[in-house]
Chain A
Amino acid sequence: SAVISQKPSRDICQRGTSLTIQCQVDSQVTMMFWYRQQPGQSLTLIATANQGSEATYESGFVIDKFPISRPNLTFSTLTVSNMSPEDSSIYLCSVDDRANTGELFFGEGSRLTVL
């Protein structure tokens, strides 16, 4: 199984600022995924991050708002730019298992509150 660490675990941010969330995995993985979970809601996929290529964004999410980096096979960052209160959510990093059985491992999430 993969162990995923996310930083920060939580933060309170001011409107208009940006915050970068880090995701560190204890093993090399091909694909990393970023999800958003708004208060009381289910998970929504933001983008898929492959090492060495641009992230692929889902409908409704754009690179200018959620730039992603994937510098190597164990690390990724998600930036939430120009934040507004509507961005208050839990942001989750996920990876698929090395055996390609489709099992997803999730970090504990980063809970952002935008004032």
Chain B
Amino acid sequence: DAKTTQPTSMDCAEGRAANLPCNHSTISGNEYVYWYRQIHSQGPQYIIHGLKNNETNEMASLIITEDRKSSTLILPHATLRDTAVYYCIVSPEYNAGKSTFGDGTTLTVKP
């Protein structure tokens, strides 16, 4: 699996959009970009994934650059409950279970 690079930590004001970047410059053509988050003392939670088109669901939006070498997860209106470690992973769909989790970004949403 390709390696991803994320900032160690980020802060965001409650109610504002949180934009979490991820670099995956060695991504292969069949690899998707997945985002998970882990709230303290809980198991990781799937957020969203995409191949090359931008994606949106009820939790977040995923913006993938045209060259697919980086992406941004957007939480449009961050709340205190969004404070968590966010992991960006790249993997083929058929092999997602063997994904390599990097260190992730610790997002702290502040009142």
- Chain A residues in the interface with B (C-beta under 8 A): 4, 31, 33, 35, 42-45, 48, 58, 92, 94-96, 100-109
- Are A96 and B97 also in contact (CB < 8 A) when A42-B104, A102-B91 are? yes
- Nearest-neighbor residue (CB-CB) of A97 within chain B: B46
- Do B49 and A102 touch (CB < 8 A)? yes
What is the total of A-B residue contacts with beta carbons within 8 Å?
61
- Of the residues A33, A42, A103, A105, contact of B98 by C-beta under 8 Å: A33
User: What interface size band does chain B fall in?
Assistant: 20 to 34
List, in ascending order, chain A residues with CB within 8 A of B93's CB. 100-102
A33 near B97 (CB under 8 angstroms)?
Answer: yes
Please give the distance in Å from A83's CB to the nearest CB on chain B: 21
Q: B43 contacts which of A31, A48, A92 (Cβ < 8 Å)?
A: A92
Contact present for B43 and A102 (CB under 8 Å):
no
6 other contacts beyond A102-B34, A104-B46, A104-B97, with CB at 8 A cut-off? A42-B87, A43-B101, A94-B43, A102-B91, A102-B94, A109-B43
Task: Specify the main secondary structure of chain B where it touches its partner.
Answer: mixed
**In the complex, chain A residues whose CB is within 8 Å of the CB of B98:** 33, 45, 48, 58
Nearest CB in chain B to that of A58: its residue: B98
Known: A42-B87, A42-B102, A104-B36. A96 touches B96 (CB 8 A): yes
Bound together, the chains give a CA A35 to CA B97 distance in angstroms of 10
Nearest to B102 among chain A residues (CB) is A42
* A106 / chain B contacts, CB cutoff of 8 Å: 43-45
Complex Cα–Cα for A102 and B92 (A): 8
Interchain Cβ contacts under 8 Å between A and B, 17 examples: A33-B98, A42-B102, A42-B104, A45-B97, A45-B98, A45-B100, A48-B97, A96-B96, A102-B49, A102-B92, A102-B95, A104-B97, A106-B43, A106-B45, A108-B42, A109-B42, A109-B43
